[in-house]
Amino acid sequence: MNDVIDLLARLGERLHDASTGLTGFVSDLVAEIDEKVDRIPAELNEYGYDPWGYNPAVLKRFILPVAFLYRYYFRCRTRGLENLPEGRVLLIGNHAGQVAFDGLMVMAACILEAEPPRLSRGMGEYWLGTLPFLSILMDRTGSAVGTRQTGVDMLEHGECVMAFPEGVHGMNKLYSDAYKLMEFGLGFMRLGLQTNTPIVPVSIVGSEEQNPGIANLKGIARLLGMPSFPITLTFPWLGPLGMMPLPVRYHIEFGPPILFEGDPEDEDDVIQGKVDEIKAVLQRQLTKGRENRRSVFF
């Protein structure tokens, strides 16, 4: 058994096992996940792994608690999945909320609500690859440490790749900056140009309120070798429990795909111009999403 199944996916496994004896929504959800994950297009070898280490059996266990969060905790309202083109696509989203529930919710949306179900493969921080258990979980559920070559390979293979170009600067921003897009990295645009991949802007409304940041102690972060050390209403005061998000409602919108053309090795200025276009689209989508919601929680 993988360590990762032992520890991180234990909750999922319990639910999975328990569901065999349960009737009602748990077993329905398990059946739904089984059916949908099986339909995700993937090139698996005889041992059930794809070239990047994705394993559907692990994903099924992992996605069950995530699906619970998606349906019953964040009660996600997702729109625009019909905008997801077939084959290679790059999802670009806004990052917030101290812990990357936003990535997980986009992942759940693509599995539970897209037709056919898709695996959105996250491009993670380098730091994540050095973490025990989490590094395995990341691989088995289809994500990877975000390097250019890995992104190119996945897209050329027709995968759906998800990136948050703000990185930790977005995720761990303070509440005073809520819904203000931070500086975007340029890597994703070069990736898109190189592989001729349509970009789908994904706006996520709700994540900013799930765990508002009060401060970010960069000194402590450096000391612990972490990218950031956020202070929130509950973290670190309640320990790991303090990472628990508030039950806000998520509104996720997949915008129409945009195909950029140009030289992937162009000057930063030129690439920046294209990145700004995406950023503007995303900002508009965010503003519209915020205007349309009735309240943060409902």
Partner 1 sequence: MPKLLITGIAGGLGRLVAKMARSRWEVIGVDRDPWPSAPDGVVVHQFDMRKRRFEDVFRTERPEAVVHLAFVRHFRSDPATRHEINVEGTKHLLEHCAEYGVRQLVVVSSSYVYGALANNARYMNEEHPLNASRTFPEIRDLCEVEGLVGTFLWRYPEIATSILRPVNTLGHSVHNAIGNYMKIQMVPTVMGFNPMMQFMHAEDLAEAVNVALEKKVRGVYNVAGPGAVPLKRALEEIGRPYFSIPDTVAHTLINTLFSLGIYRFPPGAIDFIKYPCTISDKRFRQATGFRARHTLAEIFASVAP
Report the interface residues with partner 1, using CB under 8 A: 2-4, 45-47, 49, 51-53, 126, 129-136, 139, 144-145, 147-150, 153
Query: CB-wise, 51 or 273, nearer to partner 1?
Result: 51
β-pairing, 144-145 vs 251-254, is unpaired
Query: CB-wise, 84 or 155, nearer to partner 1?
Result: 155
Cβ 96 to partner 1, closest distance in Å?
24
Cα-based torsion angle of the residue sequence 233, 235, 237, 242 in order, rounded to the nearest 10 degrees = 100
Cβ 41 to partner 1, closest distance in Å?
18
Cβ 203 to partner 1, closest distance in Å?
29
Cβ 80 to partner 1, closest distance in Å?
30
Query: CB-wise, 50 or 113, nearer to partner 1?
Result: 50
Cβ 52 to partner 1, closest distance in Å?
5
Query: CB-wise, 48 or 273, nearer to partner 1?
Result: 48
Cβ 107 to partner 1, closest distance in Å?
19
Query: CB-wise, 46 or 269, nearer to partner 1?
Result: 46
Q: How far apart are CA 270 and CA 2, in angstroms?
A: 45
Amino acid at 265: E
Q: How far apart are CA 150 and CA 156, in angstroms?
A: 10
Helix axes 187-195, 148-156, angle to 10 degrees: 30
- When computed from its CA atoms, the radius of gyration of the chain, rounded to whole angstroms, is 19
| Residue bearing tokens 């898709």 | 118
Cβ 154 to partner 1, closest distance in Å?
9
Reference 79, options 265, 297, 288; nearest CA is: 288
Query: CB-wise, 150 or 272, nearer to partner 1?
Result: 150
Cβ 134 to partner 1, closest distance in Å?
8
Query: CB-wise, 174 or 226, nearer to partner 1?
Result: 226
Query: CB-wise, 145 or 186, nearer to partner 1?
Result: 145
